[in-house]
Structure 1
Amino acid sequence: MKYDVITIGGGTEDFSFYTHAGLVLRSKKDVLHQKLIAFEYGAKIGIDRVYSTFGGGAANTAVNLSGLGFKTAAVLCVGGDERGRNVVDNLKQCKVATDLVEIAKNNTTGFSFIVINKSNERIIFSHRGANTELRIRAKILAALKQSKWVYIASLSGLYWQEDLRDIFSVARAKKVWNPGEAQLSGGLKKISKFLKQTDVFCVNREEAIELVLSTGKYRANDFKFLNNIKNLLKIIKSFGPLMVVITSGKKGADFYDGFSFYHQNIISNQKRLDATGVGDAFHSSFLAGIELYNGDIKRAMLLGVYNTAAVVSGIGAQNGLLLKSDLKKYKI
């Protein structure tokens, strides 16, 4: 079957724990760890409320793109357990095709433990589970060859480099890449050849700094240089992707294609409950905007921030996302 977009990555169940504890600490000495959340050592931390929702890069982006009117399939791996069945059922309810979902019968489905403090700052503890068993098999590869877009999220298996090689071997499909921890921790050396084949490369500011520092060339530079968004955009663009998008939380998002810089502020939203999944929402909405608005970058970025404002007003990474029918309410 032919799809507009195929998303590749993880699918999880997310458990969000809200607490009044948790202090945000700021560091001016470690550019890779500028903000930390701390709890009292040895203390029992009270939880105000708990929610169970769905998450994972492939699942989140597929749900968003489907809601925005695109024929979408998700490539992810779940375990042979109830959690896995729930993840798949949720995708089906959101009109995401699941024929490319893999099942690792002897493994458990991945899940995340998300702690959110009174300022709605969060930290995520992720158990990858069956996500580590995802492989790009012949059936998936055949589907990729017919898709217009491929959205690549975090890959956590032992063979992620081989999987990326297979994904990027499909020349026809345009590729949006939002790499995960395994890819970024390997540094530029591990992913350089794939960056040169990427249409849109998406990371947050912290991930951008990590990737830039991995080259060794910029380690002597100070905080000011590394926190300058235009410096980060230009350096990452020099690594090979056609377009670079960097999100910076409440500071908005920035774009660079080698010719033009664009900055987009966030949409103010007093009802900010949970920032989980904002990157997935923004990046996949940016892809959607490129298609919906004939390559208009400013409108694509505006759609991204409208959708992130919507998702932070709900609990979890998929609740609150805009539907295509909602877009007429906004001046995009």
Structure 2
Amino acid sequence: MKVAAIGFSCIDVYQNLDKQYATGNGIDCIVNLAKRGIQTSAITTVGTDLYGKEMLDLCKEYEIDSSHIQVNEGDTSVFYMTLKNGTDRFHIKNVPGVMENYTPTREDIEFTKTHDYVHTDMYGHVLHLLPEFREAGCKIILDFSLNKDFDVLGPVLRNTNYGFFSFEKYDDTIQDFLKKAYSYGPDIVTATFGEEGSMSYDGSTFYRQEIYPAAEIVNTVGAGDSFISGFVYGLIQGMDIPGCLDCGARTSSEIVQKFNPY
């Protein structure tokens, strides 16, 4: 099985802590999958600066295929970050860099279509390609993050197999939300609620998963991305939905005990 992450990528820079790492929703996911031995690829763009080299070095370290990472003249996308309450991320500003005008080439698109699973999000400039990927037989993993507007989500959900949503906490509206999201056509829709766990819906049953408490929380960045990686690993291994949720919760618990999101 092969998993591609196409679209958004960046470098998170914590200037007050003198720390940084290469990241992005899909990048975090495939690094965690690569650590489990899954064949992965990154399709995105970086600049000609040192941050771009950092992304390429990350892919080399985890044996992620970077042959379709465009290196374009200019700056790599950067998010300047800080931590509040010692562990929770807070975005200060984003410098979009070459990511702002990213467009996959036809070669990038055809390469992506050779993968079994394709991960992307709402910000990678590739949503118009989802029907083409699905027609090629790819299973689409979509990280919707905090997006809840069905006027925007509806067309995307129609071309999604596995949709993931983030909520701050669980409440009685979430089951109805998942039912509506599922009605657009995905195979499984999943919501995470931070310390209150997660829930998946497959059109007939709601599955609830509690978290695995971390011995020490260092940085909550990457909790959601690592959860998705664990869930997808479960899918690849043929697990049922409770098994996928459990694998996602375990992976997320491991990652929040590190500074980097993988």
TM-score, with structure 1 as normaliser: 0.72
Tell me the residue number matched to 2:6: 8
Q: Percent identity?
A: 21
Work out whether residues 136 and 167 of structure 1, in 8 Å CA contact, stay in contact via their aligned partners in 2. Answer: no
Q: Aligned partners of 2:114, 2:21: CA distance in 1, in Å?
A: 31
**What is the number of residues matched between the two proteins?**
259
Secondary structure, counterpart of 2:66 in structure 1? coil
> What is the CA deviation profile of residues 249-281 of structure 1, one whole-angstrom value per residue up to 9, with x for unaligned ones?
111111001111111111011310100011111
Work out whether residues 176 and 199 of structure 1, in 8 Å CA contact, stay in contact via their aligned partners in 2. Answer: yes
Q: Aligned partners of 2:122, 2:153: CA distance in 1, in Å?
A: 13
Tell me the residue number matched to 1:168: 131
The one-letter code sitting in structure 2 at the alignment partner of 1:313 is Q
> What is the CA deviation profile of residues 31-84 of structure 1, one whole-angstrom value per residue up to 9, with x for unaligned ones?
xxxxxxxxxxxxxxxx5x442222112221121111121110011110111110
Q: Aligned partners of 1:13, 1:239: CA distance in 2, in Å?
A: 33
Question: Closer, same or farther in 2 for the Cα pair 1:193/1:154, shift >3 Å?
Answer: closer
Q: Does 1:253 align with 2:215?
A: no
Q: Does 1:80 align with 2:48?
A: yes
Work out whether residues 232 and 244 of structure 2, in 8 Å CA contact, stay in contact via their aligned partners in 1. Answer: yes
Q: Does 1:91 align with 2:59?
A: yes
Tell me the residue number matched to 2:250: 306
Give 1:227 deviation, angstroms: 5.1
The one-letter code sitting in structure 2 at the alignment partner of 1:178 is D
Q: Which has the higher strand share?
A: 2
Q: Aligned partners of 2:222, 2:7: CA distance in 1, in Å?
A: 14
Tell me the residue number matched to 2:228: 283
Max Rg structure: 1
Work out whether residues 145 and 166 of structure 2, in 8 Å CA contact, stay in contact via their aligned partners in 1. Answer: no
Mapping of residues 87-126 of structure 1, within 5 Å: 87-105=55-73, 107-125=74-92, 126=94
Mapping of residues 1-332 of structure 1, within 5 Å: 4-16=2-14, 49-105=17-73, 107-125=74-92, 126-156=94-124, 160=125, 163-170=126-133, 171=135, 172-179=137-144, 184=147, 187-205=149-167, 228-292=173-237, 294-318=238-262
Give 1:119 deviation, angstroms: 4.8
Work out whether residues 44 and 104 of structure 2, in 8 Å CA contact, stay in contact via their aligned partners in 1. Answer: no
Mind listing any 5+ residue stretches in structure 1 that lack a counterpart?
18-46, 210-223, 319-332
Give 1:191 deviation, angstroms: 4.1
Secondary structure, counterpart of 1:5 in structure 2? strand
The one-letter code sitting in structure 2 at the alignment partner of 1:63 is V
* Large movers: runs of 4+ above 6 Å: none
Q: Aligned partners of 2:102, 2:250: CA distance in 1, in Å?
A: 32
> What is the CA deviation profile of residues 111-130 of structure 1, one whole-angstrom value per residue up to 9, with x for unaligned ones?
12222123523212433322
The one-letter code sitting in structure 2 at the alignment partner of 1:57 is N
Work out whether residues 168 and 194 of structure 1, in 8 Å CA contact, stay in contact via their aligned partners in 2. Answer: no
Q: Aligned partners of 1:250, 1:16: CA distance in 2, in Å?
A: 24
Q: Aligned partners of 1:279, 1:128: CA distance in 2, in Å?
A: 22
The one-letter code sitting in structure 1 at the alignment partner of 2:163 is F
Q: Aligned partners of 1:59, 1:311: CA distance in 2, in Å?
A: 14
Tell me the residue number matched to 1:323: none
The one-letter code sitting in structure 2 at the alignment partner of 1:169 is E
Tell me the residue number matched to 1:20: none
TM-score, with structure 2 as normaliser: 0.90
The one-letter code sitting in structure 1 at the alignment partner of 2:161 is D
Q: Aligned partners of 2:98, 2:127: CA distance in 1, in Å?
A: 18
Tell me the residue number matched to 1:28: none
Secondary structure, counterpart of 2:175 in structure 1? helix
Secondary structure, counterpart of 2:32 in structure 1? helix
Give 1:167 deviation, angstroms: 3.1
Question: Closer, same or farther in 2 for the Cα pair 1:304/1:180, shift >3 Å?
Answer: closer
Q: Aligned partners of 1:132, 1:65: CA distance in 2, in Å?
A: 27
